[in-house]
Amino acid sequence: MTTKTFDAVVIGAGPGGYVAAIRLAQLGKKTALVERESLGGVCLNWGCIPSKAFIAAGNLVDEIRGAADRGILVSEPKVDVAKLRAFKEGVVKKLVSGVGALEKGNGVEVLKGKATFVGPNAVEVDAGGEKTRIEAAAFIVATGARPIAIPGFAYGKDVWSAKEALDLPEVPGRLVVIGGGVIGLELGTVYAKLGSKVTIVEALPALLTGVDPEAVRIVQKGLRQRGVDVHLNAKAKGLDAVAGALSVRIEVDGKEQAIPADKVLVAVGFRPNTEGIGLEAAGVKLDAKGYVQVDDQLRSSNPAVFAIGDIVGPPFLAHKASKEGEIAAEVIAGHRSARDWVAMPGAIFTDPEVATVGLSEEQARAKGLDPLVGKFAFAALGRAIAIDHTEGFVKVIADRESKLLLGVTMVGPEASDLIAEATLALEMGAYVEDVALTVHAHPTLAEAFMEASKAALGEAIHAINRPERPRKDKGAAPA
Ligand code: NAD
């Protein structure tokens, strides 16, 4: 067996690992990046990127359907599934080859194969039976996560995970989605726009648990308008096939119901990929939930092994993994980096989109705070009216005394992009006045953040400022 030696080895080339490898090389480390499947990992190949290609296509279909309202007369759009799939594959290919070019350009050696720790400072890379021993002073493990499977719903031709759904084998007549979380709603919305009759089955009493319920109500309205049925408090019990016809058995309030389906998408959460990579041989400990135990510098119980991204726990977000990759690389290079960010944004690509940063109103109240809240509806914003997307709002949450910004929740058009300004504001330690006093170009959707900040101060221009209503839980809280 050949042996190779590097300063640092990164295992897994998703948005955590490929970024870590680039940063290590930039910092002068002789770096190898090991990947068993495809550069870019789940995000580029079977997650964030292909889903955005389909979501954009679904939005286009939706816009065309609604164009008559704006005096543009077109016939009902038809979807050429093969062509749409080819478009998505082109997008993925371009980005994956871009990652390859970046690694090469930075001097990273990319090794195809499966890496397994064989000791505290060595891995074995198996490339189709051909094995190489790789030794290094430091390792970054970035092996990601995979969809959880539920009993009675084995993934296959009829039961899809997000990966199969993003292969777009067909647009099924009836799609039953199990799980009303992020993936269930994003992909459920796309398939509804492309023409499927979609039914969402969620075990909990609400969709998108953890998101501001006011924002979830707007998303739920969007689903309703697109003919999506939602069953809450509904547990998926099993899949029956009678004479070739599928039906999903669900239990609501102790009673069973059957929902006919052509395909089923299961999206009930992720599980970290920590098995089968020899973490025990490397002396890397897991926590009680099965995530790799790391400190604020992403160092595991073996000081030579770092772990980043989904395997160190939620939130399962590509940009969080990338940030952790940069931090781990910098720590390995001797910098004093640490996980010390203030703001970690989240973006959910439903229709309308939801984006969050910092505390939600509910989270602030759960912490015992009585926050200052300012809200501005897109329905009152010129640009939103002009583009015919008036659904949703921006809500700012701030400390009542100091007016320090604590969080922002947005639901509405382009919320996933608009959240960047709020993220910067939080990271910079902005006060509500900072945002309210900042001139925003008119007419833009970004004005909604400025107006919501003004509203928190009772100074909104394009909405009537009303005194805060007394809250039952916190007593009167005059502005
Ligand atoms: P999720 O945790 O967002 O949602 C899973 C949902 O399934 C939950 O609401 C849960 O209550 C429900 N559920 C669980 N078991 C069930 C059952 N037997 N019957 C019915 N409902 C059931 O998980 P996901 O949507 O699979 O996404 C996986 C992870 O990836 C999440 O952490 C998500 O945040 C992340 N992700 C993020 C984005 C984004 O940020 N845009 C996109 C995709 C995925």
Minimal-distance CA residue to ligand 1 atom 5: 268
Superfamily of domain 159-268: FAD/NAD(P)-binding domain (3.50.50.60)
Residues of the chain with CATH 3.50.50.60: 2-146+271-332, 159-268
The tokens for 469 are 């209503």
| Half-sphere exposure at residue 45, Cβ-oriented, CA atoms within 13 angstroms | 14
Model pLDDT for residues 56-92, shown as the tens digit of each residue = 999 999 999 999 999 999 999 999 999 999 999 999 9
Sequence-distant (≥ 6) Cβ neighbours of residue 319 within 8 angstroms: 15, 344, 345
* Residue 474 confidence (pLDDT): 54
Model pLDDT for residues 264-311, shown as the tens digit of each residue = 999 999 999 999 999 999 999 999 999 999 999 999 999 999 999 999
Model pLDDT for residues 97-129, shown as the tens digit of each residue = 999 999 999 999 999 999 999 999 999 999 999
Sequence-distant (≥ 6) Cβ neighbours of residue 44 within 8 angstroms: 14, 15, 38, 92, 95, 96, 99
Sequence-distant (≥ 6) Cβ neighbours of residue 72 within 8 angstroms: none
Contact predicate 393/212, CB 8 Å: no
Atom of ligand 1 nearest to the CA of 148: 26
231 in active site:
no
| Half-sphere exposure at residue 234, Cβ-oriented, CA atoms within 13 angstroms | 23
Strands, DSSP E only, in 345-439? 346-348, 353-358, 372-377, 393-398, 405-412
Minimal-distance CA residue to ligand 1 atom 15: 268
Residues of the chain with CATH 3.30.390.30: 346-456
With a cut of 60, say whether residue 339 has pLDDT above it: yes
Model pLDDT for residues 202-256, shown as the tens digit of each residue = 999 999 999 999 999 999 999 999 999 999 999 999 999 988 899 999 999 999 9
- Containing H/E element for 26? helix 17-26
- Containing H/E element for 177? strand 174-178
Ligand 1 binding residues, C-beta < 6 A:
150, 178-184, 186, 201-204, 209, 235-236, 267-270, 314, 316-317, 346-349
The tokens for 222 are 């969007």
Q: What is the DSSP letter of 293?
A: P
CATH class of this structure's domain 346-456 = alpha beta
- Give me the architecture of the 2-146+271-332 domain, per CATH: 3-Layer(bba) Sandwich (3.50)
Query: What spacing in Å lies between the alpha carbon of 100 and ligand 1's midpoint?
Result: 30
- The residue type found at 186 is E
The tokens for 475 are 């007593």
Among the listed residues 123, 230, 234, the one whose alpha carbon sits nearest the alpha carbon of residue 185? 230
Q: How far is CA 228 from CA 161, 182, 190, 195, 241, in A?
A: 19, 15, 11, 11, 23
Bond before 352 cis per omega within 30 degrees: yes
Return the number of other C-beta atoms located less than 10 Å from residue 121's C-beta. Answer: 17
Query: What spacing in Å lies between the alpha carbon of 388 and ligand 1's midpoint?
Result: 30
Question: What is the CA angle 426-430-431, rounded to 5?
Answer: 125
Q: How confident is the model at residue 449 (pLDDT cuts 50, 70, 90)?
A: very high
